[in-house]
Structure 1
Protein backbone atom coordinates (compact mmCIF):
# COMPACT_ATOMS: atom_id res chain seq x y z
CA UNK A 1 0.00 0.00 0.00
CA UNK A 2 2.84 2.33 0.88
CA UNK A 3 4.57 1.64 -2.45
CA UNK A 4 1.39 2.49 -4.38
CA UNK A 5 1.04 5.76 -2.47
CA UNK A 6 4.65 6.73 -3.28
CA UNK A 7 4.14 5.95 -6.97
CA UNK A 8 0.91 7.93 -6.99
CA UNK A 9 2.58 10.96 -5.44
CA UNK A 10 5.44 10.76 -7.93
CA UNK A 11 3.01 10.54 -10.84
CA UNK A 12 1.00 13.49 -9.54
CA UNK A 13 4.16 15.59 -9.17
CA UNK A 14 5.21 14.84 -12.75
CA UNK A 15 1.69 15.57 -13.98
CA UNK A 16 1.61 18.92 -12.17
CA UNK A 17 5.01 19.86 -13.58
CA UNK A 18 3.92 18.97 -17.12
CA UNK A 19 0.74 21.00 -16.69
CA UNK A 20 2.71 23.99 -15.36
CA UNK A 21 5.09 23.84 -18.34
CA UNK A 22 2.17 23.63 -20.75
CA UNK A 23 0.52 26.64 -19.10
CA UNK A 24 3.75 28.64 -19.26
CA UNK A 25 4.24 27.79 -22.94
CA UNK A 26 0.63 28.72 -23.74
CA UNK A 27 0.97 32.09 -22.01
CA UNK A 28 4.20 32.85 -23.88
CA UNK A 29 2.69 31.87 -27.24
CA UNK A 30 -0.36 34.01 -26.52
CA UNK A 31 1.75 36.98 -25.44
CA UNK A 32 3.91 36.75 -28.56
CA UNK A 33 0.84 36.59 -30.79
CA UNK A 34 -0.81 39.54 -29.04
CA UNK A 35 2.36 41.65 -29.07
CA UNK A 36 2.84 40.88 -32.77
CA UNK A 37 -0.75 41.76 -33.64
CA UNK A 38 -1.40 44.81 -31.45
CA UNK A 39 1.95 46.01 -30.13
CA UNK A 40 3.72 45.68 -26.79
CA UNK A 41 2.52 48.98 -25.36
CA UNK A 42 -1.17 48.31 -26.10
CA UNK A 43 -1.49 44.76 -24.78
CA UNK A 44 -2.08 44.27 -21.05
CA UNK A 45 -1.47 41.33 -18.74
CA UNK A 46 -5.25 40.96 -18.42
CA UNK A 47 -5.53 40.71 -22.24
CA UNK A 48 -2.92 37.96 -22.34
CA UNK A 49 -4.48 36.05 -19.44
CA UNK A 50 -7.93 36.18 -21.02
CA UNK A 51 -6.68 34.95 -24.40
CA UNK A 52 -4.57 32.21 -22.78
CA UNK A 53 -7.46 31.01 -20.63
CA UNK A 54 -5.78 31.63 -17.29
CA UNK A 55 -6.22 34.08 -14.42
CA UNK A 56 -4.13 37.26 -14.42
CA UNK A 57 -2.47 36.31 -11.10
CA UNK A 58 -1.14 33.17 -12.83
CA UNK A 59 0.66 35.31 -15.41
CA UNK A 60 2.07 37.55 -12.69
CA UNK A 61 3.18 34.53 -10.65
CA UNK A 62 5.09 33.08 -13.61
CA UNK A 63 6.51 36.24 -15.21
CA UNK A 64 5.95 39.09 -12.70
CA UNK A 65 5.34 41.74 -15.37
CA UNK A 66 5.04 42.49 -19.07
CA UNK A 67 8.81 43.03 -19.13
CA UNK A 68 9.20 39.54 -17.67
CA UNK A 69 7.12 38.13 -20.51
CA UNK A 70 9.21 39.99 -23.07
CA UNK A 71 12.42 38.70 -21.50
CA UNK A 72 11.15 35.12 -21.62
CA UNK A 73 10.08 35.47 -25.26
CA UNK A 74 13.39 36.99 -26.35
CA UNK A 75 15.48 34.56 -24.31
CA UNK A 76 13.65 31.62 -25.84
CA UNK A 77 14.17 33.09 -29.30
CA UNK A 78 17.84 34.01 -28.95
CA UNK A 79 19.12 31.20 -26.76
CA UNK A 80 17.04 28.22 -27.82
CA UNK A 81 18.24 24.69 -28.71
CA UNK A 82 19.88 25.74 -32.00
CA UNK A 83 21.91 28.42 -30.22
CA UNK A 84 22.90 25.93 -27.51
CA UNK A 85 24.22 23.46 -30.09
CA UNK A 86 26.35 26.11 -31.81
CA UNK A 87 27.56 27.76 -28.60
CA UNK A 88 28.60 24.37 -27.23
CA UNK A 89 31.26 24.24 -29.94
CA UNK A 90 33.08 27.12 -28.22
CA UNK A 91 33.75 24.76 -25.29
CA UNK A 92 35.48 22.15 -27.44
CA UNK A 93 38.09 24.26 -29.25
CA UNK A 94 40.81 26.74 -28.38
CA UNK A 95 41.60 27.52 -32.01
CA UNK A 96 41.03 31.30 -32.25
CA UNK A 97 40.22 31.13 -35.96
CA UNK A 98 37.56 28.51 -35.32
CA UNK A 99 36.19 30.53 -32.40
CA UNK A 100 35.73 33.53 -34.69
CA UNK A 101 33.92 31.38 -37.24
CA UNK A 102 31.71 30.03 -34.44
CA UNK A 103 31.06 33.62 -33.33
CA UNK A 104 29.75 34.33 -36.83
CA UNK A 105 27.57 31.21 -36.63
CA UNK A 106 26.13 32.33 -33.29
CA UNK A 107 25.20 35.74 -34.71
CA UNK A 108 23.53 34.10 -37.68
CA UNK A 109 21.54 31.76 -35.41
CA UNK A 110 20.39 34.60 -33.13
CA UNK A 111 19.27 36.98 -35.84
CA UNK A 112 17.78 34.30 -38.10
CA UNK A 113 15.66 33.20 -35.14
CA UNK A 114 14.73 36.78 -34.29
CA UNK A 115 13.62 37.44 -37.87
CA UNK A 116 11.44 34.33 -38.01
CA UNK A 117 10.11 34.20 -34.45
CA UNK A 118 9.67 37.82 -33.34
CA UNK A 119 10.34 39.95 -36.40
CA UNK A 120 6.68 40.96 -36.64
CA UNK A 121 6.54 41.81 -32.93
CA UNK A 122 9.61 44.03 -33.26
CA UNK A 123 8.14 45.75 -36.31
CA UNK A 124 4.79 46.51 -34.68
CA UNK A 125 6.47 47.67 -31.45
CA UNK A 126 9.49 49.44 -32.94
CA UNK A 127 9.01 52.51 -30.73
CA UNK A 128 8.02 50.71 -27.53
CA UNK A 129 10.16 51.94 -24.59
CA UNK A 130 9.54 48.68 -22.74
CA UNK A 131 10.73 46.54 -25.65
CA UNK A 132 13.75 48.78 -26.20
CA UNK A 133 14.69 48.45 -22.53
CA UNK A 134 14.49 44.64 -22.63
CA UNK A 135 16.43 44.48 -25.90
CA UNK A 136 19.15 46.71 -24.43
CA UNK A 137 19.49 44.24 -21.56
CA UNK A 138 19.96 41.37 -24.00
CA UNK A 139 22.54 43.38 -25.94
CA UNK A 140 24.53 43.69 -22.71
CA UNK A 141 24.26 39.93 -22.23
CA UNK A 142 25.41 39.32 -25.82
CA UNK A 143 28.37 41.66 -25.28
CA UNK A 144 29.52 39.87 -22.13
CA UNK A 145 29.10 36.41 -23.66
CA UNK A 146 31.76 37.36 -26.22
CA UNK A 147 34.31 38.55 -23.67
CA UNK A 148 35.96 35.15 -23.17
CA UNK A 149 36.59 34.82 -26.90
CA UNK A 150 37.94 38.38 -27.00
CA UNK A 151 40.41 37.57 -24.22
CA UNK A 152 41.77 34.65 -26.23
CA UNK A 153 42.21 36.91 -29.27
CA UNK A 154 44.17 39.44 -27.23
CA UNK A 155 46.32 36.64 -25.84
CA UNK A 156 46.93 35.07 -29.27
CA UNK A 157 47.23 37.83 -31.87
CA UNK A 158 49.61 40.82 -31.64
CA UNK A 159 47.17 42.97 -33.64
CA UNK A 160 44.38 42.27 -31.15
CA UNK A 161 46.74 42.75 -28.23
CA UNK A 162 47.70 46.16 -29.61
CA UNK A 163 44.03 47.17 -29.69
CA UNK A 164 43.44 46.00 -26.14
CA UNK A 165 40.60 43.97 -24.66
CA UNK A 166 38.05 46.79 -24.48
CA UNK A 167 38.33 47.72 -28.15
CA UNK A 168 38.42 44.07 -29.26
CA UNK A 169 35.16 43.51 -27.35
CA UNK A 170 33.66 46.66 -28.88
CA UNK A 171 34.65 45.72 -32.44
CA UNK A 172 33.40 42.14 -32.09
CA UNK A 173 30.10 43.37 -30.64
CA UNK A 174 29.70 45.89 -33.48
CA UNK A 175 30.38 43.42 -36.30
CA UNK A 176 28.07 40.79 -34.80
CA UNK A 177 25.24 43.24 -34.12
CA UNK A 178 21.72 43.37 -35.49
CA UNK A 179 22.28 46.42 -37.70
CA UNK A 180 24.81 44.73 -39.98
CA UNK A 181 22.63 41.62 -40.24
CA UNK A 182 19.63 43.81 -41.06
CA UNK A 183 21.44 45.78 -43.76
CA UNK A 184 22.98 42.78 -45.50
CA UNK A 185 20.31 40.08 -45.10
CA UNK A 186 17.04 42.00 -44.83
CA UNK A 187 17.77 45.06 -46.95
CA UNK A 188 20.33 43.81 -49.48
CA UNK A 189 18.99 40.27 -49.78
CA UNK A 190 22.08 38.32 -48.74
CA UNK A 191 21.49 34.71 -47.76
CA UNK A 192 22.17 33.77 -44.15
CA UNK A 193 24.98 31.52 -45.38
CA UNK A 194 26.65 34.41 -47.21
CA UNK A 195 26.29 36.63 -44.13
CA UNK A 196 27.82 34.00 -41.85
CA UNK A 197 30.74 33.31 -44.19
CA UNK A 198 31.47 37.02 -44.70
CA UNK A 199 31.26 37.74 -40.98
CA UNK A 200 33.64 34.93 -40.06
CA UNK A 201 36.22 36.12 -42.59
CA UNK A 202 35.78 39.75 -41.56
CA UNK A 203 36.33 38.96 -37.88
CA UNK A 204 39.46 36.97 -38.71
CA UNK A 205 40.84 39.80 -40.84
CA UNK A 206 39.97 42.44 -38.25
CA UNK A 207 42.01 40.83 -35.49
CA UNK A 208 44.85 39.05 -37.30
CA UNK A 209 46.10 41.35 -40.04
CA UNK A 210 49.39 43.10 -39.43
CA UNK A 211 48.43 46.55 -40.61
CA UNK A 212 45.24 47.94 -39.13
CA UNK A 213 43.74 50.92 -37.40
CA UNK A 214 45.81 51.96 -34.40
CA UNK A 215 43.85 52.67 -31.25
CA UNK A 216 44.63 56.02 -29.69
Structure 2
Protein backbone atom coordinates (compact mmCIF):
# COMPACT_ATOMS: atom_id res chain seq x y z
CA UNK A 1 0.00 0.00 0.00
CA UNK A 2 1.30 3.40 -0.97
CA UNK A 3 2.10 5.66 1.98
CA UNK A 4 0.07 8.88 2.25
CA UNK A 5 1.72 11.93 0.77
CA UNK A 6 2.47 13.96 3.89
CA UNK A 7 3.41 17.04 1.88
CA UNK A 8 0.05 17.05 0.13
CA UNK A 9 -1.73 16.51 3.46
CA UNK A 10 0.06 19.49 5.00
CA UNK A 11 -0.71 21.58 1.93
CA UNK A 12 -4.42 20.66 2.05
CA UNK A 13 -4.52 21.42 5.78
CA UNK A 14 -2.93 24.83 5.27
CA UNK A 15 -5.34 25.58 2.42
CA UNK A 16 -8.36 24.69 4.54
CA UNK A 17 -7.05 26.81 7.41
CA UNK A 18 -6.51 29.74 5.04
CA UNK A 19 -10.07 29.41 3.72
CA UNK A 20 -11.47 29.39 7.26
CA UNK A 21 -9.44 32.49 8.12
CA UNK A 22 -10.64 34.24 4.96
CA UNK A 23 -14.25 33.30 5.76
CA UNK A 24 -13.97 34.72 9.30
CA UNK A 25 -12.49 37.96 8.00
CA UNK A 26 -15.15 38.37 5.33
CA UNK A 27 -17.94 37.60 7.78
CA UNK A 28 -16.56 40.07 10.30
CA UNK A 29 -16.29 42.73 7.62
CA UNK A 30 -19.83 42.13 6.38
CA UNK A 31 -21.27 42.38 9.90
CA UNK A 32 -19.35 45.54 10.78
CA UNK A 33 -19.92 47.22 7.41
CA UNK A 34 -23.66 46.53 7.76
CA UNK A 35 -23.86 47.84 11.33
CA UNK A 36 -21.38 50.73 11.34
CA UNK A 37 -20.97 51.56 7.67
CA UNK A 38 -17.87 50.99 5.58
CA UNK A 39 -16.19 54.31 6.28
CA UNK A 40 -16.63 54.09 10.06
CA UNK A 41 -15.26 50.55 10.30
CA UNK A 42 -11.54 50.08 10.92
CA UNK A 43 -9.25 47.20 10.04
CA UNK A 44 -8.50 46.84 13.76
CA UNK A 45 -12.20 46.27 14.47
CA UNK A 46 -12.43 43.71 11.66
CA UNK A 47 -9.38 41.88 13.00
CA UNK A 48 -10.75 41.83 16.53
CA UNK A 49 -14.11 40.47 15.47
CA UNK A 50 -12.53 37.85 13.22
CA UNK A 51 -10.10 36.78 15.96
CA UNK A 52 -7.00 37.45 13.88
CA UNK A 53 -4.24 40.03 13.81
CA UNK A 54 -4.36 43.18 11.72
CA UNK A 55 -1.42 41.98 9.57
CA UNK A 56 -3.45 38.85 8.80
CA UNK A 57 -6.35 40.95 7.56
CA UNK A 58 -3.99 42.89 5.31
CA UNK A 59 -2.36 39.69 4.08
CA UNK A 60 -5.70 38.13 3.15
CA UNK A 61 -7.67 41.06 1.69
CA UNK A 62 -4.99 43.79 1.33
CA UNK A 63 -7.24 46.61 2.55
CA UNK A 64 -10.76 47.56 3.56
CA UNK A 65 -11.52 48.16 -0.11
CA UNK A 66 -10.14 44.71 -0.92
CA UNK A 67 -12.43 43.17 1.69
CA UNK A 68 -15.43 44.94 0.17
CA UNK A 69 -14.47 43.72 -3.31
CA UNK A 70 -14.14 40.16 -1.99
CA UNK A 71 -17.57 40.33 -0.36
CA UNK A 72 -19.17 41.64 -3.54
CA UNK A 73 -17.39 39.10 -5.72
CA UNK A 74 -18.46 36.15 -3.56
CA UNK A 75 -22.07 37.36 -3.44
CA UNK A 76 -22.43 38.34 -7.08
CA UNK A 77 -20.51 35.46 -8.66
CA UNK A 78 -21.73 32.76 -6.27
CA UNK A 79 -23.69 29.56 -6.98
CA UNK A 80 -26.62 31.33 -8.65
CA UNK A 81 -24.33 33.06 -11.14
CA UNK A 82 -22.31 29.92 -11.83
CA UNK A 83 -25.45 27.95 -12.66
CA UNK A 84 -26.77 30.68 -14.97
CA UNK A 85 -23.40 31.18 -16.65
CA UNK A 86 -23.07 27.45 -17.25
CA UNK A 87 -26.39 27.53 -19.12
CA UNK A 88 -25.18 30.55 -21.08
CA UNK A 89 -22.00 28.76 -22.09
CA UNK A 90 -24.08 25.81 -23.30
CA UNK A 91 -25.82 27.95 -25.94
CA UNK A 92 -24.46 28.62 -29.41
CA UNK A 93 -27.27 30.70 -30.95
CA UNK A 94 -26.37 34.40 -30.47
CA UNK A 95 -30.00 35.47 -29.98
CA UNK A 96 -30.48 32.88 -27.25
CA UNK A 97 -27.22 33.98 -25.62
CA UNK A 98 -28.39 37.59 -25.50
CA UNK A 99 -31.74 36.49 -24.05
CA UNK A 100 -29.96 34.33 -21.46
CA UNK A 101 -28.44 37.56 -20.13
CA UNK A 102 -31.75 37.96 -18.32
CA UNK A 103 -31.10 34.79 -16.32
CA UNK A 104 -27.53 35.90 -15.58
CA UNK A 105 -28.71 39.33 -14.40
CA UNK A 106 -31.35 37.79 -12.16
CA UNK A 107 -28.76 35.43 -10.65
CA UNK A 108 -26.34 38.28 -9.96
CA UNK A 109 -28.84 40.50 -8.19
CA UNK A 110 -30.55 37.69 -6.29
CA UNK A 111 -27.15 36.68 -4.93
CA UNK A 112 -26.30 40.26 -4.08
CA UNK A 113 -29.66 40.83 -2.36
CA UNK A 114 -29.41 37.62 -0.35
CA UNK A 115 -25.87 38.24 0.89
CA UNK A 116 -25.35 42.01 0.97
CA UNK A 117 -28.74 43.68 1.32
CA UNK A 118 -28.05 45.22 4.75
CA UNK A 119 -24.55 46.28 3.77
CA UNK A 120 -25.76 48.00 0.60
CA UNK A 121 -28.44 49.91 2.50
CA UNK A 122 -26.22 51.02 5.39
CA UNK A 123 -23.31 52.01 3.14
CA UNK A 124 -25.30 53.50 0.27
CA UNK A 125 -23.34 56.78 0.33
CA UNK A 126 -19.91 55.31 0.98
CA UNK A 127 -17.15 56.36 -1.47
CA UNK A 128 -15.66 52.87 -1.16
CA UNK A 129 -18.94 51.24 -2.16
CA UNK A 130 -19.27 53.65 -5.07
CA UNK A 131 -15.79 52.70 -6.31
CA UNK A 132 -16.55 49.00 -5.91
CA UNK A 133 -19.79 49.40 -7.85
CA UNK A 134 -17.99 51.26 -10.63
CA UNK A 135 -15.49 48.41 -10.93
CA UNK A 136 -18.33 45.88 -11.02
CA UNK A 137 -20.17 47.81 -13.72
CA UNK A 138 -17.04 47.96 -15.88
CA UNK A 139 -16.52 44.22 -15.41
CA UNK A 140 -20.17 43.44 -16.17
CA UNK A 141 -20.05 45.40 -19.43
CA UNK A 142 -16.82 43.70 -20.46
CA UNK A 143 -18.28 40.26 -19.74
CA UNK A 144 -21.25 41.06 -22.00
CA UNK A 145 -19.09 42.22 -24.90
CA UNK A 146 -18.62 38.73 -26.36
CA UNK A 147 -22.39 38.23 -26.66
CA UNK A 148 -22.75 41.46 -28.62
CA UNK A 149 -19.76 40.68 -30.84
CA UNK A 150 -21.21 37.25 -31.64
CA UNK A 151 -24.64 38.75 -32.40
CA UNK A 152 -23.16 41.16 -34.95
CA UNK A 153 -20.77 38.59 -36.39
CA UNK A 154 -23.76 36.35 -37.12
CA UNK A 155 -25.68 39.34 -38.58
CA UNK A 156 -28.47 38.75 -36.08
CA UNK A 157 -28.56 42.24 -34.58
CA UNK A 158 -31.60 44.44 -34.97
CA UNK A 159 -31.46 46.45 -38.18
CA UNK A 160 -30.04 49.96 -37.78
CA UNK A 161 -28.43 49.23 -34.39
CA UNK A 162 -24.71 49.89 -33.95
CA UNK A 163 -22.54 47.55 -31.95
CA UNK A 164 -21.78 50.22 -29.34
CA UNK A 165 -25.46 51.10 -28.95
CA UNK A 166 -26.32 47.42 -28.55
CA UNK A 167 -23.64 46.98 -25.87
CA UNK A 168 -24.97 50.01 -24.00
CA UNK A 169 -28.57 48.81 -24.17
CA UNK A 170 -27.65 45.31 -22.93
CA UNK A 171 -25.67 46.84 -20.07
CA UNK A 172 -28.52 49.24 -19.18
CA UNK A 173 -31.40 46.76 -19.32
CA UNK A 174 -29.49 44.24 -17.16
CA UNK A 175 -28.50 46.84 -14.56
CA UNK A 176 -29.05 46.64 -10.83
CA UNK A 177 -31.28 49.72 -11.00
CA UNK A 178 -33.76 48.07 -13.39
CA UNK A 179 -33.87 44.91 -11.28
CA UNK A 180 -34.46 46.86 -8.06
CA UNK A 181 -37.16 49.09 -9.51
CA UNK A 182 -39.15 46.16 -10.88
CA UNK A 183 -38.54 43.46 -8.25
CA UNK A 184 -37.97 45.34 -5.00
CA UNK A 185 -39.91 48.53 -5.58
CA UNK A 186 -42.73 47.33 -7.87
CA UNK A 187 -43.14 43.84 -6.42
CA UNK A 188 -42.53 41.82 -9.56
CA UNK A 189 -41.75 38.14 -9.05
CA UNK A 190 -38.23 37.17 -10.18
CA UNK A 191 -39.71 34.88 -12.84
CA UNK A 192 -41.79 37.77 -14.15
CA UNK A 193 -38.73 40.02 -14.26
CA UNK A 194 -36.68 37.42 -16.11
CA UNK A 195 -39.40 36.75 -18.69
CA UNK A 196 -39.88 40.49 -19.30
CA UNK A 197 -36.15 41.08 -19.63
CA UNK A 198 -35.75 38.21 -22.10
CA UNK A 199 -38.47 39.64 -24.33
CA UNK A 200 -37.08 43.16 -24.01
CA UNK A 201 -33.55 42.11 -24.95
CA UNK A 202 -34.77 40.11 -27.94
CA UNK A 203 -36.94 42.98 -29.19
CA UNK A 204 -34.37 45.72 -28.59
CA UNK A 205 -31.21 44.00 -29.78
CA UNK A 206 -31.91 41.11 -32.15
CA UNK A 207 -33.68 40.10 -35.34
CA UNK A 208 -35.98 37.95 -33.19
CA UNK A 209 -35.41 34.64 -34.96
CA UNK A 210 -35.04 31.81 -32.47
CA UNK A 211 -36.91 33.72 -29.77
CA UNK A 212 -39.49 30.96 -29.47
CA UNK A 213 -36.76 28.58 -28.34
CA UNK A 214 -35.61 30.90 -25.57
CA UNK A 215 -38.79 30.58 -23.52
CA UNK A 216 -38.74 26.81 -23.95
CA UNK A 217 -35.18 26.64 -22.60
CA UNK A 218 -35.82 28.91 -19.61
Distance in 2 (CA, whole Å) between partners of 1:162 and 1:92 is 29
Q: Could you say which residue in structure 2 is the equivalent of 1:197?
A: 195
Q: Could you say which residue in structure 2 is the equivalent of 1:214?
A: none
Q: Could you say which residue in structure 2 is the equivalent of 1:91?
A: 89
Q: Could you say which residue in structure 1 is the equivalent of 2:55?
A: 57
**How far did 1:96 drift?**
2.3
Distance in 1 (CA, whole Å) between partners of 2:83 and 2:30 is 24
- Count of residue pairs brought into register by the alignment: 207
Asked whether the equivalents of residues 154 and 161 of structure 1 are also in contact (C-alpha less than 8 Å), the reply is no
CA deviations on 1:178-202 (whole Å, 9 max, x unpaired) are 1111110010000111000100010
**How far did 1:157 drift?**
4.4
Once the two structures are superposed, the pairs formed by residues 119-134 of structure 1 within 5 Å of their partners are 119-134=117-132
Q: Could you say which residue in structure 1 is the equivalent of 2:177?
A: 179
Unaligned runs of 5+ in 2: 209-218
Q: Could you say which residue in structure 2 is the equivalent of 1:154?
A: 152
**How far did 1:116 drift?**
1.3
Asked whether the equivalents of residues 95 and 151 of structure 2 are also in contact (C-alpha less than 8 Å), the reply is no
TM-score by length of 2: 0.89
**How far did 1:132 drift?**
0.4
Distance in 1 (CA, whole Å) between partners of 2:29 and 2:170 is 33
Distance in 1 (CA, whole Å) between partners of 2:108 and 2:156 is 30
**How far did 1:209 drift?**
5.4
**Alignment RMSD:** 1.7
Asked whether the equivalents of residues 77 and 114 of structure 1 are also in contact (C-alpha less than 8 Å), the reply is yes
Asked whether the equivalents of residues 34 and 48 of structure 1 are also in contact (C-alpha less than 8 Å), the reply is yes
Asked whether the equivalents of residues 98 and 148 of structure 2 are also in contact (C-alpha less than 8 Å), the reply is no
Q: Could you say which residue in structure 1 is the equivalent of 2:114?
A: 116
Per mean C-alpha deviation after superposition, the further-off stretch among 151-160 and 49-58 is 151-160
**How far did 1:135 drift?**
0.9
Structure 1 residue corresponding to 2:43, chosen from 42, 45, 52: 45
CA deviations on 1:117-161 (whole Å, 9 max, x unpaired) are 101101000100011001100100000000000112223346536
Distance in 2 (CA, whole Å) between partners of 1:117 and 1:49 is 21
Distance in 2 (CA, whole Å) between partners of 1:159 and 1:95 is 12
Q: Could you say which residue in structure 2 is the equivalent of 1:208?
A: 206
Distance in 2 (CA, whole Å) between partners of 1:90 and 1:121 is 29
CA deviations on 1:25-60 (whole Å, 9 max, x unpaired) are 111111111111111111111100000000000000
Asked whether the equivalents of residues 157 and 208 of structure 1 are also in contact (C-alpha less than 8 Å), the reply is no
